[in-house]
Structure 1
Amino acid sequence: MTSHKDALNSERGSSRFRRQQTSDRRGRRRESFAEYVHRCWPLWVMVLPAIVFVAIFHYGPMYGIQLAFRDFDFTKGLTGGKWVGFHYFRQFFASPMFKPLIINTVRISLWTLVMGFIAPIILALLINQIHSGKVKGFVQTITYMPHFISTVVIVAMINLFLTPSSGLLTRFLAFLHVVNPNFMGDPAAFTPIYWISEVWQHMGWNSIIYLAALSSVDTALYEAARMDGAGRFQLIRYIDIPAILPTAGILLILNMGGVLNVGFEKVFLMQNTLNLPASEVISTYTYKIGILQNQFSYSTAIGLFNTVINLIFLVTANQISKRISDTSIF
């Protein structure tokens, strides 16, 4: 009888404890949210201008996506015009420009993506091996300064060095009879010129985030590895590279979201009638079709197709990275 009463009291006590625990959790949730709002409202106020900016200039224009499915009429506004569905998408897929545009865009973008991804990592690993703080700071400053040069100036520099008539490099090579000096007019040379100049301009700036990741590595790991007889290549292979792999994975996923987003300004400024077969990409073709020829619905459909493909690349890269290395952005 006593044991039965004890068991009953124990069960009642456990039930009260569970109810009290549930009530405490609910109370903590309500209280923690109130405390969070009270504590973090200055941060939300600080970030509010950025939220408003993104909402107005990034999400607001998405209202115009419907132009891709309408026969746009100036007199009826964005919501006017006859609904034509996927007519302009089918027109783009059947266009003789579809295949050259995709090939040119993917070729330029992949070369820029791959080399622009590898070069900052190599540069960061090399800079990390410099022991002198002054020398390291000097090298960093020199390497990321080109990032602040405008696109117009970069293209002017390219023309200065590669123009057949007055280019410094082309005149020197022509004097040596090494190669054909007309680089800017050679379609086969357009892609190398683009990605080499792009990597040179941005690899120093992009290496900063890898240097930040390397700076968080415990120096005791280097000392222990040196005591075990590891050289510089072993330190890079077994300490530095594993330290930056998560960062590299995240950046690669983000870059995959812009596979088809080849920079419009630089490509457009580098174009000429001779290299046009290799330099016409989706962004420049959209500009010429939409702005110069006033085919707004057609150009919107092309731009929407470009965005959807980029989104597919982003989601696919994220899922692959998540399964392989548990590194993902969502």
Structure 2
Amino acid sequence: MMLLPVLLYFVIFSYVPMYGVIIAFQDYLPGKSFFSSQWVGFKHFRDFFESIYFFRTIKNTFLLSIYSMIWGFWVPIAFALFLNELKDGRIKRFIQTVSYLPHFISLVVVIGMMKMFLDPSNGVINVLIGAFGGGRIDFFSSSEWFRTLYIASDIWQSFGWSSIIYLAALSGVDPTLYESADIDGASRLQKMFNITLPSLLPVTILLLILSLGNLMGVGFEKVILMYNPAVYDVSDIISTYTYRKGILEANYSYGTAMGLFNSVIGMALLVFFNWLSRKTMQQSIW
């Protein structure tokens, strides 16, 4: 009974609407049923592959995901290890609470804060740059700053919340292991590398596989809030291009084809990295 609402949610909102992907193979017109529109086969997929935006959107999507993983994946692990070493319970709870708070701030508010702090006219960052003799920077209109801003703000907003699962894994470590290590004269650093980190390995591999499988699933909402035509060359990803073509230009079949392509690639990556992990490290999701 407790599982039923979850199952109903996915059935109603994830599986039932899946029949709508058939419009990716049609010239769908609003007002017609899904089965009365003209079938065009893989025409929309070919149009996307031949588009001048194909390689740009693939590259930007891939790079944003890879950079986010390189810079952000280890931060929650390091933070969990840091908290695990704290012995004062009150300080530990305070730091945990403060680190969780950014997760509950709306993306709209986060981007609004960034635009205020980085405003080229009176933003505090540019004021400090000017005070030290530097030239003011229009961060949100600069292609070279877009990925840095996206990744840094994402780490700040999510590292505390993401550390919860690692802290939960650490709470399940047998304390007798640490007691034995103390008897053997192990230092805190040795206990961390020989007990704590190996205990985190299964959950770390699980989350890494899920992250690798989601390489093509860069957050659409945040990019939409941050980007503008001046930074399209580095910010235009598959989901934003799908939004422009499918929603703004009302080309629903083309947009659906792009979304289906992105989902198939994501699924293939998940299966591949799960297989690779099972073969090399004997750890996998299934």
TM-score of the two chains, using structure 1 as the length reference: 0.83
In structure 1, the residue matched to 2:11 is: 55
Matched, 1:148 2:91: no
Match of 2:36 in 1: 80
Alignment pair present for 1:163 and 2:119: yes
Give the Cα separation in 2 of the matches to 1:212 and 1:46. Answer: 22
- For 1:75 and 1:201, the matched residues in 2 are separated by 42
Q: Which residue does the alignment assign to 1:204? A: 160
Paired residue type of 1:89? F
Aligned equivalents of 2:5, 2:19: Cα separation in 1:
21
Aligned to 2:70: 114
The answer for the alignment partner of 1:280 in structure 2 is 236
Distance 1:179-1:320 versus aligned 2 partners, 3 A rule: farther
1:324 aligns with 2:261: no
Corresponding residue of 2:23: 67
User: 1:278 Cα deviation (Å)?
Assistant: 1.1
Distance 1:78 1:179 in 2: 56
Which residue is 1:238 aligned to?
Answer: 194
Q: How far off its partner does 1:283 sit?
A: 0.9
Give the match for residue 293 of structure 1. 249
Pick from 115, 129, 138 the counterpart of residue 85 of structure 2. Answer: 129
Which entry has the higher C-alpha Rg, 1 or 2? 1
SS in 2 for 1:274: helix
Establish whether residue 96 from structure 1 lines up as the match of residue 48 from structure 2.
no
* Higher alpha-carbon deviation: 299-308 or 161-170: 161-170
In structure 2, distance between residues paired with 1:184 and 1:115: 21
Partner deviation per Cα, 1:225-278 (whole Å, 9 max, x = no partner): 233332222111111100000001111112222211111111101112322221
Alpha-carbon separation, structure 2, partners of 1:178 and 1:121: 36
Contact between 1:73 and 1:80, CA under 8 Å: does it hold in 2?
Answer: no
Shift of 1:206: 0.6
Task: Quote the Cα distance in structure 2 between the aligned partners of 1:179 and 1:102.
Answer: 33
Counterpart AA for 1:305? F
Unaligned stretches of 5+ in structure 2?
none
- Pick from 133, 142, 164 the counterpart of residue 177 of structure 1: 133
Spell out, residue by residue over 1:47-74, the C-alpha distance to the aligned partner (whole angstroms, 9 max, x if none): 2222122111100111111111111122
Report % sequence identity: 44
Q: Is this contact kept in 2: 1:183–1:190, CA < 8 A?
A: yes
Counterpart residue identity of residue 200, structure 2: I
Q: Which moved more, 1:105-114 or 1:138-147?
A: 105-114
Contact 2:120 2:136 in 1 (8 A): no
Report how many residues are paired.
286
| 5+ residue gaps, structure 1 | 1-44
